[in-house]
Amino acid sequence: MNGTKESGNALGGVELSFIGCGVMAEAMIAGLLRQELVAPAQIVGSHPREARRAELGGRYGVRVFEGNREAVEALSAQGEGGDNARARSIVVLAVKPQRLGLVLGELKGALRADQLVLSIVAGARMETLAAELLHPAVARAMPNTPAQIGQGMTAWTATAEVNDEQAAQVRAMLAALGREMHVESERMIDMATALSATGPTYTFLVMEALVDAGVHMGFSRHVAQELVTQTMLGSVLFARESHKHPAELRNMVTSPGGTSAEAIYQMEKGSLRTVLSKAVWAAFQRAVALGKK
Ligand SMILES: NC(=O)c1ccc[n+]([C@@H]2O[C@H](COP(=O)([O-])OP(=O)(O)OC[C@H]3O[C@@H](n4cnc5c(N)ncnc54)[C@H](OP(=O)(O)O)[C@@H]3O)[C@@H](O)[C@H]2O)c1
């Protein structure tokens, strides 16, 4: 026993190497350790800065190397041939898109056939990753910022070379960030980029506008903030738990001649729905264009 969950744990005994230990990699490491899906000894990573390496080592008890290739080579050779044909290690690419070209060059040819690559790098196509790394088993995920508190929504897909066991490992890794959903294609990853990965932006803008509206009426900012935040949180939880269509929930609070009816009239008149739809569509087009670069 190493302090991790044994039964039904897809990551039992799997080693993980995080290339680029920034915000998202740390969120994943913290979630995996908190849920006891892996032990610190199963995790290695890389980071160019000494202070960050020491910080992560101290906080989580994981080994962090300076070199990216070193962090891949530190994974034990357990999966190679012999009686163990199972994929026993995962290399997570978590650098910024601008650094990816350099990192792929460093890692070229360093991966064993049985290893899995999981990339969370925005815009990076699986075909590019596979060609640059000379490695066909690649999964690609698109998380969002609430992942930093374990409340993320991550869409992911994978190449045909990723087997069922590896897919289960990807699910378990991403569940450490919140909820995960497999999608069939990279086009759907672009769609999720516009809807769920860019989603917090729409939510924060609406929150901000409502808080400003509260201040306009005369509430102090912190009071308006509390009223708006808890109302949004409660509404979302209510919608999820009731399993009702949003229009039905909205109708429930819309009395004839009441305040909701008045507010809805103004939102429709101001084309709020159309504006949101156009914003999501524009974000989707941008994701497609960035992916082609
Ligand atoms: N944050 C999100 O909500 C989110 C959502 C969807 C997708 N993503 C994707 O996730 C990836 C990571 O995002 P993040 O927010 O975690 O970014 P981040 O905090 O900047 O993490 C990247 C880390 O890589 C380090 N780094 C820089 N050059 C490196 C190199 N050559 N080799 C190895 N590591 C290097 C950076 O160090 P320095 O700090 O010293 O530069 C930084 O700590 C990005 O590709 C992003 O597109 C993020």
* Cα separation values, 226 from 112, 173, 176, 201, 208, Å: 51, 33, 28, 19, 12
Classify strands 89-93 and 152-158 as parallel, antiparallel or unpaired.
unpaired
The token pair at 19 is: 């290339």
Ligand 1 centroid to Cα of residue 128, in Å, is 19
Which residue has the least CA distance to atom 21 on ligand 1? 22
Checking if the pLDDT of 204 tops 60, the result is yes
| Average confidence (pLDDT) over 111-131 | 95
Among the atoms of ligand 1, which is closest to the Cα of residue 121? 45
Checking if the pLDDT of 3 tops 80, the result is no
Which residue has the least CA distance to atom 47 on ligand 1? 122
Which has the closest alpha carbon to 24: 187, 174, 167? 174
The token pair at 85 is: 């044909």
Q: What is the pTM of this model?
A: 0.93
H-only helix segments in the chain: 23-34, 50-60, 68-73, 97-107, 126-133, 164-175, 186-192, 199-217, 221-242, 246-252, 259-269, 272-292
What pLDDT does residue 2 have? 60
Ligand 1 centroid to Cα of residue 24, in Å, is 7
User: Residue 173 contacts by C-beta under 8 Å, 6 or more apart in sequence?
Assistant: 11, 16, 28, 32, 90, 92, 118
Tens of pLDDT along 65-110?
Answer: 999 999 999 997 654 444 444 448 999 999 999 999 999 999 999 9
Burial of 250 (0-12, 13-18, 19+ CB in 10 A): middle
Ligand 1 centroid to Cα of residue 157, in Å, is 20
What pLDDT does residue 177 have? 94
Which residue has the least CA distance to atom 40 on ligand 1? 49
**Which residues' Cβ are closer than 6 Å to ligand 1?**
19-25, 46-49, 68, 94-97, 99, 102-103, 120-122, 142-145, 197
Dist CA 98 CA 103 (whole Å): 10
User: Residue 291 contacts by C-beta under 8 Å, 6 or more apart in sequence?
Assistant: 123, 125, 186, 190
Phi, psi values for residue 239, rounded to 5°: -60, -45
Give the distance, in angstroms, between the CA of residue 54 and the centroid of all CA atoms in the same chain: 25
Ligand 1 centroid to Cα of residue 212, in Å, is 33
The token pair at 6 is: 């044994």
Mutation pick for ligand 1 pocket among 21, 23, 103 (CB with most ligand atoms within 8 Å):
23
Which residue has the least CA distance to atom 33 on ligand 1? 20
Least-confidence region, from 1-5, 41-45, 235-239: 1-5
The token pair at 29 is: 């490491």
